[in-house]
């Protein structure tokens, strides 16, 4: 369970206290006992109780904020599917504290995030609906590492025939222990809302880091026909299926050395997924038959 150990160390580095666990929406406890979570490296055996001991339990913190600035690329070096390539930068886990905004950081343009509100604002029907869950402590409802870039690429590839919606969930450190339960029900609700407003739209999902677990959680409560495809970046549950979606409709991006989705030690790899945005968008467009 190295990915969860890593998330614990990052939480400690940022001094972000976390609340105790609350009920999860679906059972993944079997994944936490000796299961493999990397493309080629198996993780150690551990139960959920062991994971709980890795996180501080006093107080609470939230990472749900709203930002409004545009984003641009992030570090390159990640790969798609199960094939990986090395990233250029390496760093100790302690260095990540300077790379992530803290829960008390500004919610304005300094966060580099952007919001997707097309479903909740009911801005009209388009052929494709992209719903994305950001990573831990990312600002806005789309984050800044990869979400806005995938949305932009989808707009370009489809001729702006896509509705974009971010999941407004806490995205705090405690959520990593909840395996997506803090945002999964909200994402599932957005899927249903999108289909209610636009029955003919094709809904695709995306998630980064903790947001990937949100996708897993949401998909577990949805029927096979409600979502058409998904792209996941730095997914702690990479070896787990995404609800009832066929594996051919899911694309995982896990950079070599990423300590969250692979048994790696390069924390910079976990921030590199912006370079995969175009590939991810092309996959989604192809998966739903728009190309």
Catalytic residues: 209, 258, 270
From 264, 198, 262, select the one nearest 233 (Cα to Cα). Answer: 262
If 0-12 CB within 10 Å is exposed, 13-18 middle and 19+ buried, where does residue 231 land? buried
From 112, 179, 184, select the one nearest 147 (Cα to Cα). Answer: 112
For CA atoms 21, 51, 17, 273, the dihedral sign is: negative
Residue showing tokens 């979400």: 147
* Calpha distance 4→259 (Å, rounded): 9
In residues, how long is the chain? 291
From 155, 174, 249, select the one nearest 4 (Cα to Cα). Answer: 174
From 170, 279, 237, select the one nearest 32 (Cα to Cα). Answer: 237
Six token digits for residue 55: 């996180």
Six token digits for residue 124: 């009209």
Q: Phi and psi dihedrals of 208, rounded to 5?
A: -125, 130
Q: How many CB atoms within 10 Å of residue 74?
A: 20
* Residue 150: C-alpha distances to residues 42, 147, 156, 225, 255 (Å): 30, 5, 10, 23, 17
């Amino acid at each position: 369970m190295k990915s969860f150990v890593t998330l614990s160390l990052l939480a400690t580095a940022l001094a972000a206290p976390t609340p105790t666990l609350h009920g999860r929406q679906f059972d993944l406890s079997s994944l936490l006992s000796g299961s493999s979570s990397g493309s080629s490296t198996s993780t150690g055996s551990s139960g959920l109780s062991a994971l709980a001991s890795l996180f501080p339990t006093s107080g609470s913190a939230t990472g749900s904020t709203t930002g409004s600035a545009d984003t641009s690329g992030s570090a390159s070096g990640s790969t798609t599917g199960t094939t990986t390539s090395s990233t250029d930068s390496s760093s100790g886990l302690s260095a990540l504290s300077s790379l992530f905004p803290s829960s008390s950081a500004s919610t304005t343009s300094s966060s580099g995030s952007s919001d997707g509100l097309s479903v909740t604002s009911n801005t009209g029907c388009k052929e494709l609906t992209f719903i994305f869950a950001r990573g831990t402590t990312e600002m806005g409802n789309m984050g800044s590492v990869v979400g806005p870039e995938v949305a932009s690429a989808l707009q370009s590839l489809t001729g702006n025939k896509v509705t974009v919606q971010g999941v407004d969930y806490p995205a705090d450190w405690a959520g990593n222990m909840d395996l997506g339960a803090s945002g999964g029900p909200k994402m599932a609700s957005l899927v249903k809302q999108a289909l209610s407003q636009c029955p003919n739209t094709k809904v695709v999902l995306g998630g980064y880091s903790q947001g990937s677990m949100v996708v897993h959680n949401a998909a577990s409560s949805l029927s096979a026909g409600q979502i058409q495809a998904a792209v996941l970046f730095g997914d702690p549950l990479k070896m787990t299926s995404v609800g009832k979606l066929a594996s051919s409709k899911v694309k995982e991006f896990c950079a070599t050395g990423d300590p969250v989705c692979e048994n790696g030690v390069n924390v910079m790899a976990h921030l590199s997924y912006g370079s995969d945005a175009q590939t991810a968008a092309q996959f989604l467009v192809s998966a739903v038959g728009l190309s």
